[in-house]
Each structure stands twice: as C-alpha cells, then as structure tokens.
Copies of this chain bind each other. A is one copy, B any other.
Amino acid sequence: MALKTFARACEQIIKGVDTTLSKISHSQVEVMINMMLWARFRRILVIGVGRSGLIGRAFAMRLMHLDFDVYVMGETITPAIGKGDLIVAISGSGTTKLAVTAAAIGKEVGAKIIAITSHPNSDLGKIADHVVQIRGRTKIAKERDYFLRQLTGVHEPLAPLGTIFELSTMVFFDSLIAELIQRLGKSEGELRRKHATIE
C-alpha cells in the first residue's frame, strides 16, 4: 500500500504530459523553429517567472550549447534587446504580470515575441507574434481550470498547480532542441564541448 499516491502521480503525470504533447500543433512548432533559425544571428531572450522561468532556463542552456546568442531575463549579463531580436516568453496562464510586462517592453523596442502558453487569448498570447499552445492545467481560477480539464481531457488531481504544463513544456523544448540539432547538423560531441567546465 505504501507509495500508492506516489505511484499514481507518476503515472498520471506521464500520461498527462503524453496527452498534452500529442495535442501540440505541428504547424505552430514549425513556425517557431523558423523564427528561431532566423534568430540565430540575433539575440534571443527567454522570459519566465517561477517554475516556468526554471524551464525557460533549462531551454536557454541547451540553446547556448547550440551557439545561439541567448539570455535569460533577470540574470547578470543580459544585454539590451532590440529590433529583430527574439523573445520566448513562457506562462501557462498567460497572465503572469511580470512576464507580460517584460514581453510588452520587448515588443515596444521591436523584438518578436513567441508565447508558450495554455491560453492563446490571454494577455501574453495577444501580445505575441506567435503562440505555441501547450495545454495542461495552469494556475488560473478553479472554474476555468475545470473547464480546461474538460477541453483537454486531462485529469490530474495529483499533479498540483501547473505541473503538467511545466513538464510538457520542458519535454517540448528538449524535443525542439533535437530538431534544431538535426537541422543545424550539430553532433552531440559539439554540445559536450560547449558544456560548462566548472561545476
């Protein structure tokens, strides 16, 4: 009987992530990839708050290994972003105020915005030039959550708050990296060479 909740949570999370990933629109992904390939000789800024910010950083690390000129909002050496640069903003609800404010400033200075969110019609979704919708339960009001569950068919009472969104986004990003590696013709050996030496 021990660890029943643990075991069921594992199962539900993986199933939830699997379902969520299967619903990602490939045409949305294709547009994002093209925007990122365009941005190879520009700066990319990753924006996210809380756990979404951590997922964004994990993505930024991989992009750095692929030689993208990538930065993370809030870190020390993040330079000016301007016209033609690319912002990848992550927010499950699409309403996280600091992320929305940051994306709006980025838009004002001429950067292109990709939003990764469950809610294309949210504030963040509306600001964005392009949205990749990743379903999954997010930190919005209970009623809307309930609605969302009906829409997505994902029931995950054991996955608290934004878990499914965050994990699905992380798998999404890592798969995107695999696609980018293939398109850019990078080998894993090259990745390894760029990996931080001091840790």
User: Which A residues have a C-beta under 8 Å from some C-beta of B?
Assistant: 2-3, 5-10, 13-14, 17-18, 21, 26, 29-30, 33, 45, 47, 49-51, 53-55, 57-58, 60-62, 64-65, 70-82, 96-99, 101-102, 105-106, 109, 139, 157-161, 163, 166-167, 170-172, 174-179, 181-183, 188, 191-199
Instruction: From B30, B79, B97, give the contact of A101 (CB < 8 A).
Output: B97
Given contacts A54-B54, A60-B77, A198-B73, contact A179 B5 (CB under 8 A): yes
Copies held by the complex: 4
Select A98's contact among B13, B65, B98, beta carbons within 8 Å.
Answer: B98
Residues of chain B with a CB closer than 8 A to A191's CB: 160-161
Instruction: Contacts A14-B171, A76-B61 given; indicate if A197 touches B105 (C-beta within 8 A).
Output: yes
Cross-chain contact B2 with A30 (CB below 8 angstroms): yes
